[in-house]
Amino acid sequence: MINRVVLIGRLTRDVELRYTQSGVAVGSFSLAVNRNFTNANGDREADFINAVIWRKSAENFANFTGKGALVAIEGRLQTRNYENNAGQRVYVTEVVVDNFSLLESKAESERRRAQNGSGQAQDFSGNSQDFGNADPFASANQNNNQQSGNQQGANPFAANNNSEIDISDDDLPF
């Protein structure tokens, strides 16, 4: 028998990290997963799926994610039930997470958290940032120097003043 679940979505809230009486970490969260189709109004709906993660993975997941983070989770579907304080039987279905992947960079995550903290609207459209003339492959110091006008850390392979780079067929490795 097979019971595997793989989901990609965004956290609807920060992970709620708790510890059992024996000191085992457990994190619970909800994941918003977009549907592959739109409704009659042309809007894309989402499913909100509850999940739980255990032990060191729970601590890491809680430390490196936050509300709105794009993540992938893999695990199994589990149903459990209990009797609440009012004497009613409550059934809970959730994903028990075995593995997870963070699907956005640390910079994107920090930018999103800064927007959330300042009360600005979130932009999850995936638009790329404008880095100006900075070389995306250079180190942070080189990009800062380049943007401030200091050419000491300039990219030696960049073309100067709209001149083309002269490469012959003999220079290519293939």
Query: Predicted confidence band at 138 (pLDDT cuts at 50, 70, 90)?
Result: very low
pLDDT reading at 54 higher than 90? yes
Sorted by sequence, the CB contacts under 8 Å of residue 1 that are 6+ apart come out as: none
User: Each residue of 15-45: pLDDT tens digit?
Assistant: 999 999 999 999 999 999 998 888 888 888 8
| Sign of the dihedral defined by the CA atoms of residues 99, 76, 6, 35, in that order | negative
Whole-structure pTM over 0.85, yes or no?
no
Query: Predicted confidence band at 108 (pLDDT cuts at 50, 70, 90)?
Result: confident
pLDDT reading at 117 higher than 50? yes
Angle, CA 71 vertex, CA 116 and CA 21 arms, to 5°: 90
Query: Predicted confidence band at 132 (pLDDT cuts at 50, 70, 90)?
Result: very low
The span from the CA of 37 to the CA of 44, in Å, is 6
| Sign of the dihedral defined by the CA atoms of residues 125, 126, 129, 133, in that order | negative
Number of H helices, E strands in the chain: 3, 6
Percentage of the chain beyond pLDDT 70 is 66
Sorted by sequence, the CB contacts under 8 Å of residue 159 that are 6+ apart come out as: 165
pLDDT reading at 121 higher than 70? no
Confirm if 73 and 95 have CB atoms less than 8 A apart.
yes
- Domains (range + CATH), the chain: 5-106 (2.40.50.140)
| Sign of the dihedral defined by the CA atoms of residues 69, 75, 77, 82, in that order | negative
